Amino acid sequence: MSDTHSNTVAYVRKTMLTEQAPPSSQVGAVRWVRENLFSGPLNTILTLLGVLCVYYLGVHLGPWFANSIWNAGSLSECREILQGASGACWGVIKDRWHQLLFGFYPQDAYWRPTIAFFLMIVAMAPILFDAVPRKVLWFSAVFPFLAFWLLWGGTIWLPLLALAGFVIGYFAFTALQKVSALAAVIGAMVAPVLWWLFFAGPLDEVLSNALPIGIKHIQSDEFGGFMISIIIGVTGIALSLPIGILLALGRQSDMPLVKWICVGFIEFIRGVPLITLLFTASLLLNYFLPPGTNFDIVLRVIIMVTLFAAAYMAEVVRGGFAALPRGQYEAADALGLDYWKAQRLILLPQALKISIPGIVNTFIGLFKDTTLVVFIGILDPIGLSNAIRADSNWNGIVWELYGFIALCFFIFCFGMSRYSQYLEGKLKTDHR
- Model confidence over 225-279: pLDDT tens digits? 999 999 999 999 999 999 999 999 988 888 888 889 999 999 999 998 998 888 8
Based on its alpha-carbon atoms, the radius of gyration of the chain, rounded to whole angstroms, reads 30
- Name the residue ranges covered by the structural domains of the chain: 23-65, 102-427
Q: H or E stretch including 227? A: helix 225-251
Q: Which CATH number fits domain 102-427: 1.10.150.20, 1.10.3720.10, 3.30.70.260, 1.10.10.10?
A: 1.10.3720.10
Please tell me the predicted confidence (pLDDT) of residue 182: 72
> Which residues neighbour 176 within 8 Å (Cβ) at sequence distance 6 or greater?
183, 184, 186, 187, 188
Average per-residue pLDDT for the chain: 86
pLDDT at 120 over 60: yes
CA 159 to chain centre: 24
Q: Which band of pLDDT confidence, cut at 50, 70 and 90, is reported for residue 60? A: confident
- Phi and psi (nearest 5°) for 145? -75, -35
Q: Which band of pLDDT confidence, cut at 50, 70 and 90, is reported for residue 10? A: low
What is the C-alpha separation between 164 and 142, in angstroms, rounded?
A: 11
Please tell me the predicted confidence (pLDDT) of residue 31: 81
Please tell me the predicted confidence (pLDDT) of residue 237: 92
Sequence letter at residue 123: A
Cβ atoms of 262 and 365 closer than 8 Å: no
pLDDT at 197 over 90: no
- Phi and psi (nearest 5°) for 178? -70, -25
What DSSP string describes 16-60? PPPPPPPPGGGSHHHHHHHHHTSSSHHHHHHHHHHHHHHHHHHHH
Across 147-186, b (16+ Cβ under 10 Å) vs e yields bbbbbbbbbbbbbebbbbbbebbeebbeebeeeeeeebbe
Collapsed DSSP state (helix, strand, coil) of residue 154: strand
Over residues 130-177, the pLDDT tens digits come to 888 888 888 998 999 999 999 998 888 888 888 888 888 888 888 888
Please tell me the predicted confidence (pLDDT) of residue 431: 47
Mean pLDDT, residues 389-398 taken together:
88
> 336 — alpha (psi -120 to 50), left (phi > 0) or beta?
left
Least confident of 47-56, 93-102, 290-299: 290-299
What DSSP string describes 103-152? TT--GGGTHHHHHHHHHHHHHHHHHH-TTS-GGGHHHHHHHHHHHHHHHH
Over residues 345-385, the pLDDT tens digits come to 888 888 888 888 899 999 999 999 999 998 888 888 998 99
